[in-house]
Chains A and B, each alone.
Chain A
Amino acid sequence: MGTDQTEAVWLTEDHEFSLAELAALSGLSEAELRELVDYGAVTPINPDSPSWVFSGACLLTVRTACRLRISFELEPDGVALMVSLLNRIHELEAQVGSLRAQLPHPVR
């Protein structure tokens, strides 16, 4: 595939994926993804709809889930727990980073 056909997409809240797209891009099956949703590791934008839609950032979470499942030979509930804890760590790191950015640095 040439450069001209490449699509560059920021994986943020602004980009959305369907369940099928998420499965195709993460290496997890749709059934495994449903389990991750059941355990609360990822949350669709529209949890009450029959056709779930996920934010771009969810792709990173489920790709991590796939890597962890393979590397640690984990069951879905173990994957979900690990991913939820990692997400909390990332959120806390972002908060620390933001607070650190707001701290005045000593003037030389």
Chain B
Amino acid sequence: MKYKDYYRILGVERSAGAADIKKAYRKLAHKYHPDVSKDPEGEDKFKEVAEAYETLGNPEKRAAYDQLGRFQPGQEFQPPPDWGKRFGDSQFSFEDVDLADLFAGLSAGRHGAGPGRGQFRMPGQDYEVTAHISLAQAYRGTEVELNLTVPEFDAKGFLHNVPRTFKVRIPKGATDGQRLRLTGRGGKGLNGGRDGDLYLNIALHPHPLFRVSGHDLYLDLPLAPWEAVLGATVEVPTLAGPVSLKVPPNTRAGQQLRLSRRGLPKPSGGEGDLFAIAQIVVPAAPSEREQTLFKQLAESSTFNPRGHFQQEVKNGN
């Protein structure tokens, strides 16, 4: 069994009082709790902190932990010979047991889990996991494989962390940050308790062309100056393949052209829209002929794009 230094994790002395331990835990929980933290590793760090507090915050468990002795974090160690009696089984092997599971078993022993556990109905644990999928997968619906480490009871009633692979079907209707609940795909219930659920948090990979807002999509549509002025029919990509879009004459930069129902499918049916945002772009290196034509245009045009500057100054603004 690998040693974990719960005191070091909470950043307290081994002699710290209960109030100091609680304060240290709360400070770290504020920093790393996944519901309030922006730290991408917050969830793992919080699990570590919560595990340390689960033991050190309980006088009985803390005393049992202190009895284990002092080792370096990650160092292999054996608990004292009579330590297994706490679990009602002096022959118990600590070989592949995680320290956290051991202490969970210590409290669970009294509540129905652990060796000789009672007949309490215990619902299975809910699992939460983020599924990273592409926009194309969200559009069509997809199947993903998720690797999770989940706590499971062995035949003797001890908790072990076991790696499990879940194959999950994500139906159409996904968008970034949306949650999917898969009933009964969490931990097994005990003694007739219901099975837990699996909660999927959908995270969409960024797409090189489309930006996502809910079930709507936004696409930059570069137009040549003459296309913007004269209007044009251009081909634009959509998740279902390219379509023709009629750009009206005198289209301004930033104007949004809506392609109805070309966004992501919604869970309730229907689809979001695709918005093409007009951008007016100029050739990086115009040819001599292009330059001549632009000069002719400049000479003959009366268009003043900054006319409102003077007007506002005149108005005293």
Contacts and interface: CB of A to CB of B under 8 A. Distances in A.
Contacts of A67: 33, 35
A18 B294 CA distance: 67
Contacts of B29: 71-72
Contacts of B211: 100-102, 105
27 contacts: A1-B184, A1-B185, A1-B195, A3-B167, A8-B182, A9-B180, A9-B182, A10-B174, A10-B267, A11-B179, A11-B180, A11-B181, A12-B178, A12-B268, A25-B197, A59-B181, A67-B33, A68-B35, A71-B29, A72-B26, A86-B35, A94-B177, A94-B214, A98-B213, A101-B218, A102-B218, A107-B279
A71 B211 CA distance: 36
A59 to B, nearest CB: 7
Interface of A: 1, 3, 5-12, 14-15, 25, 56, 59-60, 63-64, 67-68, 71-72, 82, 86, 94, 97-98, 100-102, 104-105, 107
A97 B267 CA distance: 20
Interface of B: 26, 29, 33, 35-36, 46, 50, 167, 169-171, 173-174, 176-185, 195, 197, 199, 211-214, 216, 218, 220, 222, 253-254, 256, 267-268, 275, 277, 279, 281
B173 A10 contact: yes
B171 A8 contact: yes
Contacts of A97: 176, 213
Contacts of A9: 180-183
A41 to B, nearest CB: 13
A99 B286 CA distance: 34
B35 A8 contact: no
**Majority secondary structure, A binding face:** helix
A27 B311 CA distance: 64
Contact of A10 (B26, B36, B178, B279): B178
A47 to B, nearest CB: 22
B180 A8 contact: yes
Given A8-B169, A8-B170, A102-B213, 10 more contacts: A3-B167, A9-B182, A11-B179, A25-B197, A60-B179, A64-B35, A72-B26, A101-B216, A102-B277, A105-B211
B106 to A, nearest CB: 19
